[in-house]
């Protein structure tokens, strides 16, 4: 049964986004459901409908009608996780290729968030249900390191660091063909084509830059270390296809079929949100990049 909940914004939440406030206030409720509640007019601020990006002010009065029973967060599932680092504030997981990061309308189970819900809440119940705060995303078929916040404070700080480009990221990719140069840059604007609704190199797109280094050649493929200087949608896949070296397994952008998409988030460098110390985490090249299984 839907219930009405009321909040008066305190100074500590001044200038916080409406959706972020709701996520923190209802940690056991799915974010998709909370966004839908705002979209459908079931949430008012000072008696008026506001969008989810509304910037809250001290003494704002929020009213929201939600069903606490029907729309709990994703079901926790006991799925093995490759945890590279973990403490009280955050964890870093080495995600496998083929795993969705979060549930969708059609897929509600087997995702990284299902696994994290179990990892953070082994008892699955109670008012202190801990929500995993995703700081960034990886495509379903991209493997590798993904950073997850365990507290609202860590989520705010790390998200800010990502937005301010204070986090270093590097990827491994096995691409079609042999690249002769030891290193280089790919600079090509990326935008969305309205007719096809696909992302690609577009004359009116946003400036995009990728740096690469050749690690080795294996048969008719090249292993690259990639640094996305900008962070556009599908940037690495689009840029590599643009120079005639699509990623192995990336059929969408011209690559040949393979057992997986050979793209891996290999390295993260960031400041810890609690004490500011620098953390550097890395993984090896996936063993299945060059071996069909």
Q: 89 with 147, same domain?
A: yes
Q: How far is CA 4 from CA 44, 63, 70, 128, in A?
A: 11, 7, 15, 21
pLDDT of residue 70: 55
Would residue 60 count as lying in a domain? yes
Would residue 292 count as lying in a domain? no
Work out the end-to-end distance of the chain between its first and last CA atoms, rounded to an integer number of angstroms.
50
Token representation of residue 193:
């084509």
Q: 118 with 40, same domain?
A: no
Arithmetic mean of pLDDT over the chain: 90
Model confidence at 194, pLDDT cuts 50, 70, 90, reads confident
Residue where a domain stops, chosen among 20, 39, 66: 66
For the chain, the domain total comes to 3
The three-state secondary structure class of 70 is coil
Would residue 239 count as lying in a domain? yes
Would residue 244 count as lying in a domain? yes
The three-state secondary structure class of 212 is strand
pLDDT of residue 74: 63
pLDDT of residue 286: 96
Q: Give the model confidence (pLDDT) of 27-63 as tens digits.
A: 667 777 888 899 989 999 999 999 999 999 999 999 9
Give the CA count within 13 Å in the CB-facing half-sphere of 23: 19
Separation of CA 93 from chain center: 12
Q: 121 with 102, same domain?
A: yes
- Select, from the ranges 67-76, 193-202, 224-233, the one with the highest average predicted confidence (pLDDT): 224-233
* pLDDT at residue 72 is higher than 70: no
Q: 156 with 184, same domain?
A: no
Q: 232 with 216, same domain?
A: yes
Q: 51 with 14, same domain?
A: yes
Q: How far is CA 182 from CA 208, 211, 212, in A?
A: 21, 11, 8
* pLDDT at residue 221 is higher than 90: yes
Q: What is the pTM of this model?
A: 0.77
Q: Give the model confidence (pLDDT) of 146-187 as tens digits.
A: 999 998 889 889 988 998 899 999 999 999 999 999 999 999
Would residue 34 count as lying in a domain? yes
Would residue 246 count as lying in a domain? yes
Q: The tokens 């690690």 sit on which residue?
A: 215
Q: Are 245 and 222 a contacting pair, CB within 8 Å?
A: yes
Among candidate residues 139, 220, 275, 288, the one labeled active-site is: 139
Would residue 77 count as lying in a domain? no
Q: Show the domain range for 230.
A: 169-266
DSSP state string for 147-171: EEESSHHHHHHHHHHHHTT--EEEE
Q: Pairing mode, if any, of strands 61-66 and 43-45?
A: antiparallel
Q: 89 with 120, same domain?
A: yes
103 phi, psi to nearest 5 deg: -60, 155
19 catalytically annotated: no
Give me Rg for the CA atoms of the chain: 21
Share of the chain above pLDDT 90, in %: 67
Q: 135 with 187, same domain?
A: no
Compute the distance between CA of residue 108 and CA of residue 153 in angstroms, rounded to an integer.
27
Residue where a domain stops, chosen among 166, 198, 228: 166
pLDDT of residue 163: 84
212-230: burial string, b at 16+ Cβ within 10 Å, e else: bebeeeeeebbbbbbbbee
Q: The tokens 């292993």 sit on which residue?
A: 223
Residue where a domain stops, chosen among 131, 166, 201: 166
Q: 26 with 52, same domain?
A: yes
Compute the distance between CA of residue 201 and CA of residue 242 in angstroms, rounded to an integer.
7
pLDDT of residue 290: 87
Compute the distance between CA of residue 210 and CA of residue 171 in angstroms, rounded to an integer.
11
CATH number of the domain where residue 15 is located: 3.10.290.10
Share of the chain above pLDDT 70, in %: 94
Q: Pairing mode, if any, of strands 143-149 and 263-271?
A: parallel
Spell out the residues 6+ positions from residue 291 whose beta carbon is closer than 8 angstroms to its own.
Answer: none
Spell out the residues 6+ positions from residue 108 whose beta carbon is closer than 8 angstroms to its own.
Answer: 74, 75
**Residue 63 forms beta bridges with which residues?**
6, 44
pLDDT of residue 174: 97
Q: 255 with 175, same domain?
A: yes
Model confidence at 3, pLDDT cuts 50, 70, 90, reads confident
Which range is least confidently modeled, 88-92, 109-113, 246-250, 277-281? Answer: 109-113
The more confidently predicted of residues 171 and 68 is 171
Q: Are 46 and 61 a contacting pair, CB within 8 Å?
A: yes
Q: 211 with 147, same domain?
A: no
CATH number of the domain where residue 216 is located: 3.30.2350.10
Q: 179 with 262, same domain?
A: yes
Would residue 293 count as lying in a domain? no
């Amino acid at each position: 049964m839907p219930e009405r909940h009321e909040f008066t914004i305190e100074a500590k939440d001044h200038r916080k986004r409406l959706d972020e406030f709701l996520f923190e206030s209802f940690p056991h409720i799915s974010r998709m459901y909370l966004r839908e509640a705002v979209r459908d007019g079931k949430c008012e601020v000072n008696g008026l409908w506001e969008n989810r990006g509304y910037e809250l002010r001290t003494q704002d009065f929020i009213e929201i009608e939600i069903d606490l029973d029907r729309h709990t967060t994703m079901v926790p599932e006991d799925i093995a996780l490759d945890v590279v680092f973990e403490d009280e504030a955050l964890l870093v997981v080495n995600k496998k290729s083929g795993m969705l990061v979060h549930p969708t309308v059609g897929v509600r189970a087997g995702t990284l968030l299902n696994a994290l819900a179990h990892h953070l809440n082994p008892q699955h119940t109670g008012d202190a249900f801990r929500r995993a705060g995703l700081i960034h995303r990886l495509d379903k078929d991209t493997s590798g390191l993904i950073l997850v916040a365990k507290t609202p404070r860590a989520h705010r700080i790390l998200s800010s660091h990502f937005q301010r480009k204070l986090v270093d990221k590097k990827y491994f990719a096995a691409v079609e063909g042999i690249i002769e140069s030891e290193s280089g840059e790919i600079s090509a604007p990326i935008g969305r084509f309205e007719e096809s609704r696909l992302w690609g190199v577009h004359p009116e797109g946003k400036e995009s830059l990728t740096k690469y280094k050749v690690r080795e050649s294996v048969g008719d493929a090249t292993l690259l270390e990639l640094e996305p200087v900008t962070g556009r949608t599908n940037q690495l896949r689009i840029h590599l296809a643009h120079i005639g070296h699509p990623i192995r397994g990336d059929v969408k952008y011209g690559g040949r079929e393979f057992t997986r998409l050979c793209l891996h988030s290999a390295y993260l460098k960031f400041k810890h949100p609690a004490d500011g110390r620098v953390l550097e985490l890395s993984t090896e090249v996936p063993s299945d990049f060059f071996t069909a299984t």
